Each structure stands twice: as C-alpha cells, then as structure tokens.
Structure 1
Amino acid sequence: MFSYRHAFHAGNHADVLKHMVLIAILRHMTQKDTGFTVIDTHAGAGLYRLDGDYADTSGESADGIVKLFSALAPARTSDAAIKDVAPIIQDYMEAIAAFNPDGRLKIYPGSPFIVQSELRQEARDKLKLFETHPTDSKALAANIAQLQAGRQVAAARQDGFEGLKAFLPPPSRRALVLIDPSYEIKTDYQKVATCIQDSLKRFATGTYAVWYPVIPRPEAHDLPKRLKTLSNQAGKPWIHATLAIGQDEERNVSGDEEKRGHGLTASGMFVINPPHSLKPALAAALPQLLQVLGRGRGKSQALESGG
C-alpha cells in the first residue's frame, strides 16, 4: 500500500503538465482580492532533489523539466527551440527557477511548495495538505516547517479523499482542489470519481483539478469519461488536456512497468469549473510542450472542453 514514492518521478513530463496547469489556475485566482483555499489530497513530500538517489534511479526528470529548461531557458535567443514561448509555460519555468536561484536544476518543488509560493498573505489564502505515506508525510511536515508559513499551511497524515470533506465549502466560497493519487491501487480511479461526485454536491462552484496517468488499463481509460459525465450532470464546465511524449524507441517498457508508473509516456489533466483563460492558454502551450518533450512514436497532445 505504501510502496509508491513520487521522488522517483519528480519533474517528469507528467509533473510538467500538472504543475503548469496548477500555476495557470492559481495565477487566475489571485486576480481577485477575495482569499481562497487550496486543498491537495495527495501532497507527497512536497520538495524533491533532482540530484538525489531517487531521481537518479529513475532519470524521469530528463524527459521532463530538464529537457524543457535545456530547450527553452535561452528564450528569445537564437539558441531557443521556440522563440515565442507560451505564457503559461514561461510562468511554470519561472516558478521552478525560483527554487534554483543558482541556475542549476537541483530542486523540484512538488504541488505544496508550488501552491504556497503563489499564496497571498494579505488575502489570507490557505493551503490544506493530506498525505498518508508514513515516510513522505514525515518529510512533508519537515519541509513545510521550513517555510515558517504559520497557519497559512496545514498538513495532516490522513486520507485526502476523506479529509477533503471537512473543508467544503470553504468560508470564502473560493477553492481549488487538486486530486492526484498515485493510482498504484486501481480502486483509486473509483475513489476519484466518487470524490468528485461528492465534492460537487458539497461545493458546486469549486475548481477541481484531477491528474491521471494515460496507461493501458480500463480504469484509466474510463476515468475522464466518468468525469465528463459527472460535470455534465452537474451542469459545470470542464477542460480535458492530455500530453503523450511518445515511446522511447531505444527502450522497450513492459506493461507492468507502465502500470507502476515507470516508463509512463502520457498523462491527463481534467479541470472542472476552470478559469475562462485556461483553454486558450493550454491551446498555445500543449503543442509547444509536445515539440520539446516529444521523443518518438505515439506522441500527441489533445484539448477538449464542455459545459
């Protein structure tokens, strides 16, 4: 039950997509003066070393954040792979760069640290974190303590699917919920759908961002369909974005490896009640991400919306 560690996957292409979307939503939310609450149901350790043993073992950041920075960091110069980088890609890269002031990619911030960096003290924005993994929850608490954020950030070793319920609706009536379990246990797919159904009943106007892996498993294939149905039934708008970097032709990844997350080639983000700015922003960014991160057969990007 507790074998998954995100440290092995930090900064991979799935993190690039997830955190780019996360930052885009947060930047939109901070345009209003009213405070908001962010709830991260599966927070992980919160902060990861790209030069540590875990990241070195998997090497997944090489096909994600490292590749992105190598191609786009010299933006607006003759060395840049793309001259006019999409704004939400720029925002994402600047956010990651802020954790690496010496210009070398050593630290990758997980969702908790990315979110906290966007919160406003004056608006009293809040962050609620949940993590059940015994080692990661301990690391999360230690990492969060370094922020000295006081009551702005709270972390609990608790099942996020259940812990979320106590915070909906939030006092400010503004919230972003990030749901990204490991899906190591296939029942997570059902739990995500059930969580969204329950959350929309508790707080219909909240923004819900769900990350999921695109893998050859029926549950993974059905999840976005179920989320569309739930959104449509609730009369809520939605956006569904996927990014597949393609199969590395120099390495054959077994089905078991892909199901465990090793060799993952594609993932998706499903956002309910997205900001109106998100669709055009993704329409500009996804082709550029594919251009930079795509590596072989099967690479693709897709964007659809409804409601």
Structure 2
Amino acid sequence: MNYRHVYHAGNLGDVLKHAVLARLIDYFKRKDKAFRLFDTHAGTGCYDLTSAETQKTGEWQQGIGRILAADMPPAVADLLAPWLGVVRALNPDGGLKIYPGSPLLARNLLRPIDRLTLTELHPADFKTLSDLFAGDHQVKTIHLDGWLALGSFLPPKEKRGLVLIDPAYEESDEFERMTGAVVNGWKKWAGGTYAIWYPLKDARAIRRMHETFREEGLRDVLTLELTAGKSGPDTRMLGSGMTLINPPFTLADEMRVVLPWLSGVLHSAPGAGWNVTQIIGE
C-alpha cells in the first residue's frame, strides 16, 4: 500500500500503457453497441505534474514530455491522436501541467453509451478518484482490491469491453496473484479483452505468467514491449511490456508503426528497443 503512481505519472510506462489503451478504446467504438471498461488499479485518475511528488522524480520529462516535444511522422501522429488529444485538451494553455491517468483518459474517450468501472484500494487515492468522478453516471468507483474485482464484476452486462490491469508490483507474489485472477476472470468472460501492463524487470515472472496462460488454454495472446534501455531487477525501470488477451486484430500492425518511433524518442541507454509478438495463436 506504499506505492503512489503520482511519482511515476507520465513516465515511459504510461507512454506504452496509454498509447495502447487509447487504441483499444478507439477500436471498441467502431461498433454501435456499448462496452464497459474495467480498471483494476485506478489510482487517483489525474496527476498534477507541478506537484512536489512529480517534481521529486521528474519521470514524466523522460516520457510524455519527450513525446510532445518530438516531431512526429503523420502515420504515428494519426494513431496516437486519441491519447495525445486528451493530454493537450487538459493543457489548453500549452506546456504540460496536467496528465491524465488511465481513468481520466478513458473517460474522455468514451461515448455516452459506454461505462467505466474503477477500483482502487489505497484509501487516500480512492478518495481523490471518487471525488474526481462524483456525479458522473457513466463511471462507478469502488474501494476494493483489484483482484477481488476481477472475480466479482465479470462478465459485464454489456458483454463487450476490456479490462486494464496495472498493479504496483510491490509484492513478491504480485505476478502470481495477477495470473490467477486473470485466468479466473477469463474463465468467466472468455470473450473480453484483457490488457496487462508490467515493468520489464523480472523476466522469469513474465515467462511463468505466459506459460500458465498456455497451460490454462487461453488463446489469442499478444505481447508488446517498449524499452528506453536495458533494465533488470536491480536497476530503475527502463522498459515495460503489455500482454493482451483477445486484442483487436488491428493492434499488432498499429504497434509496429508506433513502437519503433516511441523507442527512438525515449532512448536513454544501451538496449533500447521494441517488440510485438503473438505468443499464443487464436
């Protein structure tokens, strides 16, 4: 319960997570039917980049700060427009003072018919989150452990949607708990899309998660990686990955356009790169 995302808002991990999240929402909006988005570890929903906490680490300067300052090829700009459009709308005077967490990014991209369910366990962060969305009938905020939420709220009545999973990875058994919760959630809602974010620091834990998915019979699993350098268990985070279950068929090709450019802009140490791999077929 010590982790506070405010110290890491807008960093290179958020770059990958939010670029992908915006593409997922864009895809779901192509059909007329409503969908629901679950965020299992929602945080506060929005971050002040001028606060003492964000200034202490300054991680956003090596993440979203670099992205907004760089010249962007048209093909990349088109794919990142949903995400960056929200960021720019929250900073109408230019510069970068406010950064949307996944909840606020998603809320700004939803249509009136879509719904957002947010769970957060940290008491102070939940209070901030619930205040942010007070009175919004499209958003439900719940003070609950994210792993319990996966077991309680699936499948949604809309029958369409996605689950964003990005815990703090503070606990030594976090990958194991997450893997079990995802498998149980998938068994309840095999047709949902699951987007799992993680730092690229514990390769063994990531491999075990993927092996379990294979053993449990999950299908159509895609992995994405974005690194600014090589990181490991004893280094600061220089890269992150996402594992997606039932991703849109368009996502892999989109990321093959976006990730090389992002990696070049975020490069800060040897070992920077990107990867798109379908690890389990449909």
TM-score range, shorter chain: over 0.9
Task: Work out whether 1:102 is the aligned partner of 2:93.
Answer: yes
Equivalent position of 1:241 in the other structure: 224
Deviations 1:22-50 (A, max 9, x none): 00000000111111111100000100011
Deviations 1:148-168 (A, max 9, x none): 422x10111110110222221
5+ residue gaps, structure 1, are 76-81, 248-252
Inter-CA distance 298–207: structure 2 relative to 1 (3 Å threshold): same
Which of residues 243, 256, 270 in structure 2 aligns to 1:283?
256
The SS at the match of 2:70 is helix
The SS at the match of 2:196 is strand
Aligned-residue Cα RMSD (Å) equals 1.9
The SS at the match of 1:94 is helix
Give how far 1:234 is off.
2.9
Equivalent position of 2:120 in the other structure: 131
Give how far 1:229 is off.
4.4
Using structure 2 for the length normalisation, give the TM-score: 0.93
Amino acid at match of 2:184: D
Amino acid at match of 1:107: I
Retained in 1: the 8 A contact 2:28–2:161?
no
Q: Percent identity?
A: 37
Amino acid at match of 2:121: T
The SS at the match of 2:152 is helix
Equivalent position of 2:184 in the other structure: 198
Deviations 1:53-77 (A, max 9, x none): 11100010011000111113xx5xx
Retained in 2: the 8 A contact 1:86–1:288?
no
Give how far 1:200 is off.
1.1
Cα distance in 2, alignment partners of residues 154 and 60 from structure 1: 30
Equivalent position of 1:250 in the other structure: none
How do 1:1-307 and structure 2 match up within 5 A?
2-72=1-71, 75=72, 82=73, 84-121=75-112, 123=113, 125-145=114-134, 148-150=135-137, 152-215=138-201, 217=202, 220-227=203-210, 229-230=212-213, 233-246=216-229, 258=235, 263-305=236-278, 306-307=280-281
Retained in 1: the 8 A contact 2:228–2:271?
yes
For structure 1, which segment, 6-15 or 237-246, has the greater mean C-alpha deviation from structure 2 after superposition? 237-246
The SS at the match of 2:116 is strand
Retained in 2: the 8 A contact 1:214–1:221?
no
Retained in 2: the 8 A contact 1:224–1:270?
no
Inter-CA distance 129–303: structure 2 relative to 1 (3 Å threshold): same
Retained in 1: the 8 A contact 2:176–2:209?
no
For structure 1, which segment, 221-230 or 55-64, has the greater mean C-alpha deviation from structure 2 after superposition? 221-230
Amino acid at match of 1:40: D
Cα distance in 1, alignment partners of residues 80 and 161 from structure 2: 23
The count of aligned residue pairs is 280
Cα distance in 1, alignment partners of residues 52 and 31 from structure 2: 41
Retained in 1: the 8 A contact 2:83–2:105?
no
Deviations 1:116-138 (A, max 9, x none): 111111x2x11111111111111
